[in-house]
């Protein structure tokens, strides 16, 4: 019996856009940009903090020396664990651990029943969370809309309150300001069962956004500081528009995107060394024909995958983008653009791949696009996980036993391995005759059916939320309403 030695095995497919030297040059570009060009930071307290630690501050301009960046990168955590409020689900934020999910805040929503574009309402948030909960390849939750039928300044809080009770998958929440950030945090603590339980293991991630190029407004930084103070894992990422807010060349865009996130990383690590900060963002180009930020451009897939490599290079988790499209309606364009970005993002190994389900360059959220992408992610996964090579899978004995032209239909080997093959839920492989007899349904018809079926029949975890927790959430919302009414009153005076 012989023994095999010196084997290297690809346990998954390997995919890479940048060489080590290319990544090093982009990294050096970021160091040089923060040192020489600097950023504009509209937050006095944050500027003071940076100044204390050696940054050059002049008005709103902040130039950051490289030791501050290197120190910050030395304290970012290699692993962060997010646990669901019911304790059943642990999400690891660590290198190459991939999850897909929707995105936040489009103003419009495709109604899954009328298929019309309309405003996003409060009940949609719960519905989106339930659909995410039902879809096996969706790993985290964002809302796919901005609630239009509640107090405007509390749309973020209502959204979180609705979603968190309808899913156990981690939510990436957003907020207008430190106040609503705190409201959301109180809800999360209520769901966790107390502040200590949350400190032990956070149950959500916060999403915040500086402005490209190289600018952080007061609220973006204020929220980032709140998250750092409270140990909330946070995303601090820009939407860079190639040829608009950043250079048209991809390398320049990567330098910008990295620099913009790095400011958040430095401030967060100064406040609370070891707190989790996730870099990344939406990376695409400006369509020059229509002046639209192209969510379906192949450049989005390319830039996102390359920025993911930069995130791994500097040791940060990555918030990436895929499954989105510039189409206005569910059609093959949406399928082409989503499949292309989904596969790129999957192969790149990003942590939170968001915006799955975006139509119309991020102006409309669609659960139909989300349900379709769930199937595409399943297909992508089959290729991405690669091939298991061992004596049993190589099946030399099986092949020799079957002989030339042999039949493998009923062997034990086939039974064992056929069971692990991917099973489509939306792809049709029937004969033409059967397909015609069953009503000539396109994939779009099947997507709509599946989506409506989930909405009608999938309950989600809401019945598991304790009554006293529901009461606490209602109280938090009521207090927030009172505060906003007071603020509005003060303003009108």
- With 0-12 / 13-18 / 19 or more C-beta atoms within 10 angstroms meaning exposed / middle / buried, residue 459 is exposed
Residue written as token pair 């606490």: 472
| Residue of the chain from 73, 197, 271, 383 that contacts another protein (CB under 8 A) | 383
Which residues 122-141 are close enough to bind another protein by CB under 8 A? none
Q: Is 29 in the site for another protein (CB under 8 A)?
A: yes
CB 268 within 8 A of CB 277: yes
Q: Is 434 in the site for another protein (CB under 8 A)?
A: yes
Crossing angle of helices 367-384/443-457, nearest 10°? 110
Q: For another protein, which is the closer residue by CB, 171 or 338?
A: 338
Torsional sign, CA 330, 335, 340, 344: positive
Alpha-carbon gap, residue 415 to 153, rounded angstroms = 57
Q: Which stretch binds another protein (CB under 8 A): 23-31, 150-158, 168-176, 221-229?
A: 23-31
Q: For another protein, which is the closer residue by CB, 432 or 463?
A: 432
Q: Is 252 in the site for another protein (CB under 8 A)?
A: yes
Q: Is 360 in the site for another protein (CB under 8 A)?
A: yes
Residue written as token pair 């502040």: 195
| Residue of the chain from 347, 356, 370, 473 that contacts another protein (CB under 8 A) | 347
3-class DSSP state of 217: coil
Q: Is 408 in the site for another protein (CB under 8 A)?
A: yes
Which residues 283-302 are close enough to bind another protein by CB under 8 A? 285-290, 292, 294, 296-299, 301-302
Consecutive H or E run containing 483: helix 467-492
| Residue of the chain from 65, 77, 193, 243 that contacts another protein (CB under 8 A) | 243
Q: For another protein, which is the closer residue by CB, 76 or 307?
A: 307
Q: For another protein, which is the closer residue by CB, 418 or 474?
A: 418
Q: Is 200 in the site for another protein (CB under 8 A)?
A: no
In the numeric block, which tokens belong to residue 206? 């916060």
CB 446 within 8 A of CB 435: no
Query: x/- binding map, residues 152-191, to another protein, per CB under 8 A?
Result: ----------------------------------------
Residue 377: CB atoms within 10 A of its CB come to 28
Which residues 218-237 are close enough to bind another protein by CB under 8 A? none
Q: Is 256 in the site for another protein (CB under 8 A)?
A: yes
- For the CA atoms of 249, 255, 261, 264, the dihedral, rounded to the nearest 10 degrees, stands at -140
């Amino acid at each position: 019996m012989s023994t095999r030695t010196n084997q290297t095995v690809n346990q998954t497919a390997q995919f890479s856009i940048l060489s080590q030297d290319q990544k090093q040059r982009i990294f050096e570009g970021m160091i040089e940009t923060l040192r020489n060009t600097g950023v504009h930071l509209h937050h006095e307290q944050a500027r003071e903090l940076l100044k204390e630690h050696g940054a050059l501050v002049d008005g709103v301009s902040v130039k950051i020396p490289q030791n501050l960046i290197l120190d910050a990168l030395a304290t970012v955590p290699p692993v962060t664990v997010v646990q669901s409020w019911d304790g059943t689900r642990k999400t690891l934020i660590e290198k190459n651990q991939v999850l897909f999910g929707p995105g936040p805040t489009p103003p419009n929503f495709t109604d899954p029943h009328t298929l019309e574009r309309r405003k996003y309402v409060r009940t949609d948030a719960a519905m989106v969370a339930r659909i995410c909960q039902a879809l096996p390849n969706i790993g985290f939750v964002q809302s796919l809309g901005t609630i239009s039928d509640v107090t405007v300044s509390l749309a973020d809080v209502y959204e979180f309150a609705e979603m968190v009770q309808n899913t156990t998958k981690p939510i990436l929440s957003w907020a207008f300001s430190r106040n609503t950030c705190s409201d959301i945090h109180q809800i999360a603590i209520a769901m966790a069962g107390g502040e200590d339980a949350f400190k032990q293991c956070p149950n959500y991630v916060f999403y915040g956004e500086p402005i490209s190029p190289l600018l952080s407004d007061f609220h973006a930084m204020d929220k980032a500081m709140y998250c750092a103070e409270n140990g909330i894992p946070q995303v601090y990422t820009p939407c860079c528009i190639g040829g608009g807010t950043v250079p048209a060349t991809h390398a320049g865009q990567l330098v910008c995107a990295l620099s913009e996130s790095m400011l958040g990383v430095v401030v967060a690590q100064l406040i609370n060394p070891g707190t989790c900060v996730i870099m990344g963002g939406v990376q695409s180009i400006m369509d020059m024909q229509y002046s639209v930020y192209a969510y379906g451009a192949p450049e989005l897939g390319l830039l996102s995958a390359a920025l993911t490599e930069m995130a791994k290079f500097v040791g940060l988790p990555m918030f990436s983008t895929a499954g989105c499209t510039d189409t206005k309606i569910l059609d093959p364009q949406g399928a082409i653009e989503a499949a292309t970005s989904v596969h790129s993002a999957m192969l790149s190994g990003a942590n939170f791949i968001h915006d799955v389900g975006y139509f119309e360059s991020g102006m409309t959220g669609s659960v139909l696009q989300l349900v379709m992408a769930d199937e595409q992610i399943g297909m992508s996964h089959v290729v991405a996980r690669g091939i298991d090579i061992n004596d049993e899978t190589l099946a030399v004995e099986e092949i020799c036993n079957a002989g030339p032209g042999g039949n493998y239909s009923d062997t034990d080997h086939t039974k064992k391995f056929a069971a692990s093959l991917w099973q489509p839920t939306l792809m049709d492989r029937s004969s033409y005759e059967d397909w015609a007899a069953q009503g000539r349904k396109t994939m779009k018809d099947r997507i709509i059916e599946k989506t409506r079926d989930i909405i009608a029949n999938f309950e989600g975890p809401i019945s598991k939320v304790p009554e006293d927790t529901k009461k606490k959430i209602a109280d938090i919302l009521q207090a927030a309403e009172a505060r906003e009414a007071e603020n509005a009153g003060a303003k009108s005076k």
